[in-house]
Structure 1
Amino acid sequence: MWRMTVNSGETATTTVQGRIRDCTAQGKGLSKLGAGDIAVVDSPDMTRREADVLADAKPGAVVNLSRFTTGAIPNYGPHLLMDAGIPLVEGAGAEVRSVLRSGKKAAIGADGAIYVGKKLAGKGEYVDRAAVDASFAAAQQSLVDQMEAYFGNTIEFIHSESPLLIDGVGVPELGDAMAGQKVLVVSGFPGEGGLLRERLGNLRNFIREYSPVIIGVGGAADTLTDLGYDPDFIVGDPSDISAEALRGNARVILPADPDGHAVGLERIQDLGVGAMTFPAATNSPMDLAILLAAFHDAETIVAVGDAVDLDRIFANPEGASPAALLARLKAGRRLVDSTVIENLYRSTSGGGVAWAWAILGLLVALAAVILIVGLGGPGEFTENLVDTWNQIALRVQGWFN
């Protein structure tokens, strides 16, 4: 790696050259990242932990396909890298990742232009320390304001929905359909149609082994039906769900306003399908599905869909509403994200299963030998086995004499 500095008046510009290392989630360049390399990442609002790993490798520069700081949260990542004297280039764009392949020689111009060989691959912007500091301060104040509003709304929700959250007032009566059972709550992923199928594929062994009660949330009910799973319950707006799924064996539950009005009731009536309503001050069918399983004494609730955690609350997405937080807190220790189950089955499959099949194969082969030897000799079955064993023992003894 070489770095060339050119002084023009009072402004210093820098050109960096080195080998590209794809350190994005899809790449494997992080393990090979060394001093002087150009690390390519895709880390909006880079965390301190991510930056620390990069800084330890002493790269010549870090190119971020996204922005090191978006202004959504006060993150320390870019500060740590800049304190280590590592030039940062941001906003290169996801489309250049396929060009910036690990191992290729590249250079970054003083204007942020990124070259692979002599070919222009893309362009980013050098990160300015003053701009990072200003963005951090603004994001810090914005986060405080946002959290004050969020928890204010949370208190309001508790005030209006305490009968539901404490005593389950309004929860549809389902008998003991979920009591002591494992319940799989399946919701979709915004803009990721294939991701839901992939996640359900990873759960097939769990579903086969435990036969959980399945709740299809909204359009995810159609995905379940397409994959051959028959939901036990469907929670959501009927306009988002196919007639085939609604007419199946699932019991349909419609989210309703606190006054009892449910959107999509007309469609249910037109289809001649029976349905129950779930009145609450949230319009999220996922929240309602989790509460449904929690109040009907599910043993374990496995949620497939976007997780709600502190990072998402900080980022202020619509899906991390106060109702979403409180529904998950109500489910408590019974609620787990499906990725936990996927990882468990991934770690217990593979090698263990391969050994089981190998042992089974040896047993089958041994049984076949016993059957052939026992039936193939001139004497009785037992005599044939004894004679064969004695011959094998004598042969082995001869090898060692």
Structure 2
Amino acid sequence: MRLRLRQRRTAPDEPGLHGPVRVDPRTKNLTKRLRPGDVAVIDHLDIDRISAEALIACRPRAVLNAARSTSGRYPNLGPDIIVQAGITLVDDLGPDVLALTEGREVRILDGGVYDGDQLVAEGVVQDEATVAAAMEEARAGLAVQLESFAANTMDYLRRERELLLDGVGVPDIETVVDGRQALIVVRGYHYKEDLAALRPYIKEYRPVLIGVDGGADAILEAGHRPELIVGDMDSVSDRALTSGAEIVVHAYRDGRAPGVERVEKLGVKHVVFPATGTSEDVAMLLADDKGAELIVALGTHATLVEFLDKGRSGMASTFLTRLRVGSKLIDAKGVSRLYRQRISSWQLGLLVIAGLFALGVALASTVAGQTMFGLFGAWTDDVLSSVRVFFGGSA
């Protein structure tokens, strides 16, 4: 039920932060319409790194979280990213804050959220000290999460043994993968930087470009075209789906595939891949089963904290999928940080000048070079004489 609040709008001269609210329990959906200066209202337990980076890219004035940004289960990375960006983060506001009317001006003061004079909800303002303290406490709970992760891994192995070991259930596709390299792009950590760093690799080897949901849009934004799009189709644009790529809809094990309805409305041909794991797992298994000689993973999850940061117990499937793919898999994560060009522009300029000087000296030592320099000198004299005559005549 929506709160019945006074209709007086918050005056700009009242103390605190002011801004129009954008409300959505799902951070991924909210960032699609969040604008600079807005106040983001979410319900996100344990804000992960990717969600935090998506929020700060929208440059909101504040982030109001109905849930706890750090529950203590594990040291999640999102709250620190938001605070370090200078964005006000108010935690544990409760469900009342989600009842705010979209677009309505609110005021935030000392952890309280006001609509006019009405206090809507009250939470905890996070800063560097509180976030650091929460991280320290959360590290103590990591052992419990590790045990849970291991249990989920064994459970997934029992349920998907035939798929992992024998490839049972992998659909047929039209895209030729056999004998080629495959680049799987997920909108994960540092995906933009790593995708830019791999541009020479893409140009030379022309791998099969596989976009996992929004990863297909990342491929398009980088100036390439995906050949395959794999996922549940909840975060990929219509532009990507109609780009000519072959569509593989990730479905639940019981056959339900919410993404099918969307692609059918667009009139796009597709196949369905039922699997328990994540969409990035499905993409890896598909590329491996269809004969890719090498699989380069970009933006995917690789560490325990990243698995937990994703917020799904099913991330254990990624661990087993990586074991299944084995030596074919190369992780592109951090390529842009591992290698950076160390030659500055002025150094490059001096190198070019030195090269031209050396070329001039070499030419001057040959008969043909001396003749060329003589002709160039004569041409220069003619040009200068013409210029002098022109300006002399004008005077």
**TM-score interval w.r.t. the shorter chain?**
0.5 to 0.7
Contact kept? 1:215, 1:231, Cα under 8 Å: yes
Q: Give the SS at the match of 2:320.
A: helix
Is 2:203 the partner of 1:208? Answer: yes
Give the counterpart letter for 1:94 in structure 2: Q
- The answer to whether structure 1 residue 373 and structure 2 residue 370 are counterparts is yes
| d(CA) in 1 for partners of 2:293, 2:160 | 24
Instruction: Verify: 1:261 aligned to 2:256, yes or no.
Output: yes
When normalised by structure 1's length, the TM-score is 0.53
Q: CA offsets per residue over residues 16-68 of structure 1, 9 Å max, x none?
A: xxxxxxxxxxxxxxxxxxxxxxxxxxxxxxxxxxxxxxxxxxxxxxxxxxxxx
CA distance 1:139–1:207, shift in 2 (3 Å) = closer
Q: Map 1:8-157 to 2 at 5 A.
A: 71-72=72-73, 94=84, 124=129, 140=140, 142-157=141-156
> Aligned to 1:216, what secondary structure does the other structure show?
strand
Q: Aligned Cα RMSD in Å?
A: 4.2
The answer as to whether partners of 2:170 and 2:286 remain within 8 angstroms in 1 is yes
Structure 1 residue 272: deviation in Å? 1.6
2:322 corresponds to which of 318, 328, 352: 328
Give the deviation of 1:217 after TM superposition.
Answer: 1.0
Deviations 1:82-123 (A, max 9, x none): xxxxxxxx9xx63689xxxxxxxxxxxxxxxxxxxxxxxx99
CA distance in 2, matches of 1:180, 1:206: 16
Cα distance change on mapping 1:220 and 1:124 into 2, 3 Å = closer
2:304 is matched by which residue type in structure 1? L
Distance 1:363 1:300, change over 3 A: farther
Distance 1:159 1:275, change over 3 A: same
Say whether the 8 Å CA contact 1:214–1:232 is kept in structure 2.
yes
| Deviation per residue, 1:150-188 (Å, 9 max, x gap) | 222222211111110011111122368222322111111
- Does the CA-based 8 Å contact 1:312-1:320 persist in structure 2? no
Match of 1:250 in 2: 245
Compute the displacement of 1:212 (Å). Answer: 1.6
Query: What amino acid maps onto 1:259 in structure 2?
Result: D
| Mapped contact 1:72–1:315 kept (Cα < 8 A) | no
> In 2, are the aligned partners of 1:186 and 1:305 still within 8 Å (CA)?
yes
Q: TM-score w.r.t. structure 2 length?
A: 0.53
- Over 6 Å off, 4+ runs: 355-360
Query: Aligned ranges for residues 293-312 of structure 1 at < 5 Å?
Result: 293-312=287-306
Aligned counterparts, 1:357-368, within 5 A: 361=356, 365=360
Count of aligned residue pairs for this structure pair? 258
CA distance in 1, matches of 2:313, 2:224: 26
Query: Which one has a bigger Cα radius of gyration?
Result: 1
User: Residues 365 and 244 from structure 1, CA distance in 2 versus in 1: closer, same or farther, beyond 3 angstroms?
Assistant: farther
Which residue type is aligned with residue 260 of structure 1?
G
Per the alignment, do residues 175 and 344 of structure 1 end up closer, same or farther by CA in structure 2, a change over 3 Å counting? farther
Amino acid at match of 1:167: D
* Seq. identity, %: 33
1:200-231, CA deviations, whole angstroms, 9 ceiling, x for partnerless residues?
22221222222221101111212221322011
SS of structure 2 residue aligned to 1:248: coil
The correspondence for 1:199, drawn from 194, 200, 204, is 194
Residues of 1 paired with 2:372 and 2:85: CA distance? 69
What is the alpha-carbon distance in structure 2 between the residues aligned to residue 279 and residue 143 of structure 1? 31
Partner of 1:169: 168
Where do residues 172-187 of structure 1 align in structure 2 (5 Å cutoff)? 172-174=171-173, 177-187=176-186
Query: Which residue of 2 is the match for residue 275 of structure 1?
Result: 270
SS state of the match for residue 307, structure 1? coil
Q: One-letter code of the match for 2:183? A: L
Letter in 2 for 1:277: V
Q: CA deviation at 1:363?
A: 7.3
Q: Which has the higher contact order (CA 8 A, sep 6+)?
A: 2
Looking at structure 2, the residues matched to 199 and 291 of structure 1 have their Cα atoms a distance apart, in angstroms, of 22
Which residue pairs with 2:333 in the alignment?
339
- Does the aligned pair in 2 maintain the 1:206–1:345 contact within 8 Å? no
Alpha-carbon distance between aligned partners in 2 of 1:316 and 1:346, rounded to the nearest angstrom: 29
Counterpart of 2:184 in 1: which secondary structure? strand
Distance 1:188 1:375, change over 3 A: closer
Partner-residue secondary structure (3-state), 2:272: strand
Residue 365 of structure 1, CA deviation:
4.4
Selected match of 2:282 from 285, 288, 292: 288
Deviation at 1:198, TM superposition (A): 2.8
The 3 A distance-change label for structure 1 pair 269 and 123 is closer
Residues 307-366 of structure 1, C-alpha deviations (whole Å, 9 max, x = no match): 32234357684387111111111122222221364466547x859x96996787567646
> Match of 1:264, SS?
helix
Contiguous gaps of at least 5 residues in structure 1: 1-68, 75-89, 98-121, 379-401
Q: Which amino acid aligns with 1:312?
A: E
